[in-house]
Chain A
Amino acid sequence: MTVIYLILGCGLLVVSSLLLRLMRPASTWLSLVVFIGALICFIAEYGSIAGSFVSIASALLINLMVAFVFGKSISVR
């Protein structure tokens, strides 16, 4: 169960980060919603305090990775 929660949580964080990268208002809000989904996964696994710490730290790391791998999104208009 731990592995499932962790994979799901990290997956949601990656999606949240990719949505945030688009820099559009709608995607930013959607990114927040997806992040809350990830937060729930981590809280289910580690409890409220530890889960919150884990999800924030993981989000920081995953956003950093997304920045390193994908860089800034360029709008095609």
Chain B
Amino acid sequence: MRSISLKKLFLLHSWVGIVTGILLFIVCFTGALAVLSRPELKIWANPELHQLDTVPSEKVMTLINHYHQQVPKEFGKNIHVYLPTGHNTHLLTILFESHDGDENYDEEAAYAYQFDPRNFSLVNQYYGAADYFYEHRKTDAPSFIGHFHADLHLGRPIGLILTGFLGLTLLVSVVTGLFIHRQIIKELFTFRRKKGLDVIVNDAHKVMGIWGSVFHAIIGFTGAFLGLATVILLPAAAFVSFGGDQDKLVEKFTAMPETIVSNNYQATAIDTILLDAQTRYPKAKVIDLTVMAHNDANAQVYLRLIGGDAVASQLLQYSGDGKFSKSMSSFGDIPGPAIKVLELLFPLHFGNFAGVFVKLVWALLGLTTALLPLSGIMMWLTKRTRGSNPTLSEVAYQRWNRVIIGSCGGLVLATAILFPLQVLLNNFIPVQLHNGYFGPLFFLSWLVWCLFAVLPINYYRYLQVTLLITGGSCMSVLPLNMLLSSSHAFSSNNTLVTVVDISFLFIGGLIIYVSQRIMAKRQVLIKPTTQEVTI
């Protein structure tokens, strides 16, 4: 009975892996990179952020006061300020929002002003639908990858549902995998790297699966939650408790309720508030602030902080005169342990709760999550070509390998190309046109590389070329930056830029080295056969 159950679990593990493996690799690989996208890679990608320390609080207040006078009265009720920290926009953005729109717009409308954080000159201004502004913000290579990870650029809700379900399948694979590999203790350190590629892949799959199981399970669960929360869980909760009225539910749990304007003037002390927040939480970073009923006696200011001693992001509430009210979670001031668990899901998925060290750990473990389905598929294919009665012919085996290299290797290649492209765009193309380049180049290069899989080429050679181009793209970032940009590894006074530039060179070199090793191993495997034939 027990062996029958295990057999069923093995079948479930195999088929879940085979059906979703390639998609899972796509989501996990981009997720591993997305961990470092904000703020580290975003700062690297935007020269405006290279020399930035903190924006002076009095400057922020002056700009808000100045531009508040230029917008209609109803737009002063909600002001959002996005600080140029690399978490949101690359420019200091002040957005005056009217939830009810105005004479031109029935939906939420906004006046937005964007400033270069180096000299506070006005770079861009916008008037129109608020949603349109958010959807068409300037993107860059790291943000593009981050958004691709979230919804595969399929839009919402389809993309979110898909990534959410992939999180669930990852969870199923981890649980079934642990059950079927019962000899966990024996296989904890079993990795025979001097054996053939099949054995290496087999051992790597087990070692990564066992050691990473806790991480994979957490990422699967939190990913499923993040993907499905807004599209399935929120409507479900609204259906159960609010008669299907989602707006009512959001209103109930919103951390920033609408403020009633008293029409009594009182200057909102934004500079005092920003300084107080920095004094209270010196290790944390203020990423944005929301001002409700600006310069009114009832004004409320909310600051979103990330980092510091708190694991999850926190929201600070101040009254307009600069008096600190309370610190709460981003879900609002809701008591109970459930909300504490809920707010932990975000930092556990993003790995953004304790600095760069944790992000690196998350990125590396995320790469193992990506490699797990890939190694699983390779094992499944190899198993079917072996034995006295193989179910997969040699030609079919090669074809499947090419499909994997084309789809998964093609994704890695397309992603790697985005970084030298970012350097070229920064130096040759006006900023407002950047958004039009990332999507076409990424999807086109990926598609072209997938189409190569149709050709009857040697899949080892195909893999080698994929790795060579990927490595070459990464290695080209530093020389391109040195050649074209005034702010690169050896000229900018920003350690982050130096580390990222040199890391690209190192990673590119490592990828090329791995490609050479794989080919060398292949030669060793081929040689004895050739000799036998010669003899």
Interface residues of A (CB under 8 A from B): 2, 6, 20-21, 23, 45-47, 49-50, 53-54, 56-58, 60-61, 63-64, 66-68, 70-73
Q: Does residue B354 face the partner (Cβ distance < 8 Å to A)?
A: yes
Whether A64 pairs with B190 at a CB distance below 8 angstroms is no
- Of the candidate stretches B207-215, B297-305, B375-383, the one touching chain A is B207-215
Return the contact of A61 from the options B189, B190, B355, B365 (Cβ within 8 A). B365
Q: Does residue B441 face the partner (Cβ distance < 8 Å to A)?
A: no
Contacts A49-B311, A71-B190, A72-B190 known; A61 to B361 CB distance under 8 Å? yes
19 contacts between A and B (CB under 8 A): A21-B188, A47-B309, A50-B311, A53-B348, A54-B357, A54-B358, A57-B362, A57-B365, A61-B364, A64-B207, A64-B208, A64-B212, A67-B188, A68-B193, A71-B190, A71-B191, A71-B192, A72-B189, A73-B189
Whether A56 pairs with B208 at a CB distance below 8 angstroms is no
With CB as the reference atom, state the residue of chain B lying closest to A63: B211
With CB as the reference atom, state the residue of chain B lying closest to A18: B189
Q: How far is the CB of A3 from chain B (nearest CB, A)?
A: 10
Q: Which residues of B contact A49 (CB under 8 A)?
A: 311, 344
With CB as the reference atom, state the residue of chain B lying closest to A6: B357
Return the contact of B361 from the options A50, A58, A71, A73 (Cβ within 8 A). A58
Question: Which of chain B's residues 349-380 have a Cβ closer than 8 Å to chain A?
Answer: 353-355, 357-358, 361-362, 364-365, 368
Q: How far is the CB of A44 from chain B (nearest CB, A)?
A: 12
Q: Which residues of A contact B368 (CB under 8 A)?
A: 64
Return the contact of B193 from the options A2, A46, A71 (Cβ within 8 A). A71
From A21, A60, A66, name the one whose CB has the most chain B CB atoms within 10 angstroms.
Answer: A60
In angstroms, Cα B189 to Cα A45, docked, is 29
Question: Which of chain B's residues 163-205 have a Cβ closer than 8 Å to chain A?
Answer: 185, 188-193, 204
With CB as the reference atom, state the residue of chain B lying closest to A52: B311
In angstroms, Cα B355 to Cα A68, docked, is 26
Q: Which residues of A contact B207 (CB under 8 A)?
A: 64, 67-68
Question: Which of chain B's residues 247-275 have a Cβ closer than 8 Å to chain A?
Answer: none
Return the contact of B215 from the options A20, A50, A57, A72 (Cβ within 8 A). A57
Q: Which residues of A contact B348 (CB under 8 A)?
A: 53
In angstroms, Cα B358 to Cα A45, docked, is 12
With CB as the reference atom, state the residue of chain B lying closest to A28: B185
Whether B353 pairs with A50 at a CB distance below 8 angstroms is yes
Q: Which residues of B contact A58 (CB under 8 A)?
A: 361
In angstroms, Cα B354 to Cα A67, docked, is 26
Whether B192 pairs with A60 at a CB distance below 8 angstroms is no
